[in-house]
Amino acid sequence: MTVKDSNGAELKDGDNVTLIKDLMVRGANTTLKRGTMIKGIRLTEDENEIDCRHEKIKGLVLRTEFVEKA
């Protein structure tokens, strides 16, 4: 399975990504701003989603269409 970001770059476990859009996080009443760096992603079984952690939000799952490889 190949997981790609919004620009078509291949993502791997442990990569750092940057958000390309402001994202409202349901259940946390928080907005992650465009340009936020997410470090140490983990790939999931779904090629359109990545699992990651942010200092404010644990267990965050992001769609690959909203991130680009840093």
Per-residue pLDDT tens for 31-67?
Answer: 999 999 999 999 999 999 999 998 888 889 999 999 9
The dihedral sign for the CA sequence 13, 39, 23, 28 = positive
Residue 61 Cα to chain centre, angstroms: 7
Predicted local confidence at residue 19, as pLDDT = 97
Q: Does domain 3-69 have CATH number 3.30.1370.60?
A: no
Domain residue spans in the chain? 3-69
Query: Can you tell me which residue has the tokens 């965050």?
Result: 60
What does DSSP assign to residue 10? E
Predicted local confidence at residue 67, as pLDDT = 97
Query: Can you tell me which residue has the tokens 């009443």?
Result: 29
Instruction: Look at residue 20 and tell me whether its pLDDT is greater than 90.
Output: yes
Beta bridge partners of 42: 51
Instruction: Look at residue 13 and tell me whether its pLDDT is greater than 90.
Output: yes
